[in-house]
Chains A and B, each alone.
Chain A
């Protein structure tokens, strides 16, 4: 009896001792592992280069590009020949360059044609006119496309020049039919352009009304601005600020609408507008 009891005690104490031993091993392992690596904060730095572009001082410079050629050019010369269109900065001086492209199509609207040239349009002074040229290698229709400066506020960020037709004289005489077709196509394109412009005019008028309202709400300076607006036009604003640009846009748009109206009339009547087109820029120069 007593022996049994003693044995039982022994078994219990043995189990407890075994557990204690395991626990000790566990503690010692954790401690020594921690001890070995505790003071060694071997951290790995991970540096990565991040390029962040901060746009500073980049805003629309108030420039407004416009192709000033009226009507379509008709070059009766065999390729290759140099064609050119005139472009004017009717807004403020550009602070950076922009791009232009030349599109070509054998028959039809060059807007749907293929891109044959890309170029950089260097900054233009206020009212400066330069001509963009391209060596036409093939007979057909060419059109220049120019992008306004980045951040342009206005309707058309992309502007198209007049159409330039390049056809050999001999060919035109021989192929009267094709010429007729071409003329029809031209007329179509003209109609398209006129309708586009009319849409623009409508939009611009609504914009104009908005701006006028804004101006009226402006208590202090409204009268002055309006006066100056009517007299000086573009020159009232020394810097391209938001309101200012709107105002100038309105002024320019007024002019343009008138011009375009006359131009469209001319086109529909079928008179040759080239001579007048050449005169107009000089007139503008005098006005301003």
Chain B
């Protein structure tokens, strides 16, 4: 009896979690679509880190949260900023020098793990966000893997197939049991006749 109640409890919890997760996803998608631009969580963008130029502060394959928006000329030496190097390339590096030419503010940047400063200084208008120090290691690898061909096959299709197989097996088992009982009862009937 106890086992049954525990099982029931677990199934209820899982159901609740599922609904919460679904709602969260709905909220996330709708809010980010409504706001436009890149998806955000509580005002933060998540970036997966693909190289080790900021090690050991930010590990390769980790996820970092960066805060977009605000006055982009506010940064000072030592801040870590995410900026656009070209249209499709975001880079997160540390500011080593602030160049204030009066009209424009530019920043010279350098990866902590690099031995040289970046070739081009960054214009303040190319800065996207500031890194605030929140990072989760290794998740970036996982996401990167999940988005690759093999990864999505393994993580999305395989569990589905497993569930299908499992349910199919269950159904077949119960059906065969029923059949056995049918045959058994038929035999009984025959014998009684």
Contact = CB atoms under 8 A, between A and B. Distances in A.
Interface of A: 5, 8-9, 12, 14-49
8 contacts: A14-B11, A18-B10, A19-B163, A24-B22, A30-B146, A40-B48, A42-B49, A42-B91
B118 A45 contact: yes
A9 B63 CA distance: 45
B156 A27 contact: yes
Contacts of B114: 46-48
A40 B41 contact: no
Contact of A16 (B10, B29, B48, B170): B170
B54 to A, nearest CB: 6
Given A29-B21, A35-B28, A41-B89, A49 B116 contact: yes
B193 interface: no
* B interface, size bucket: 35 or more
B51 interface: yes
A9 B170 CA distance: 10
Contacts of B97: none
Interface string B136-169: 0001101100110000000110011001001100
B21 A44 contact: no
B147 to A, nearest CB: 6
A44 to B, nearest CB: 4
Contacts of A44: 49-54, 58, 60, 91-93, 111
Given A42-B82, A46-B52, A33 B143 contact: yes
B99 interface: no
Given A26-B155, A27-B156, A28-B21, 18 more contacts: A5-B178, A8-B177, A19-B163, A21-B11, A23-B159, A28-B25, A31-B25, A37-B140, A41-B50, A41-B89, A42-B49, A43-B91, A44-B93, A45-B89, A46-B52, A46-B53, A46-B114, A48-B114
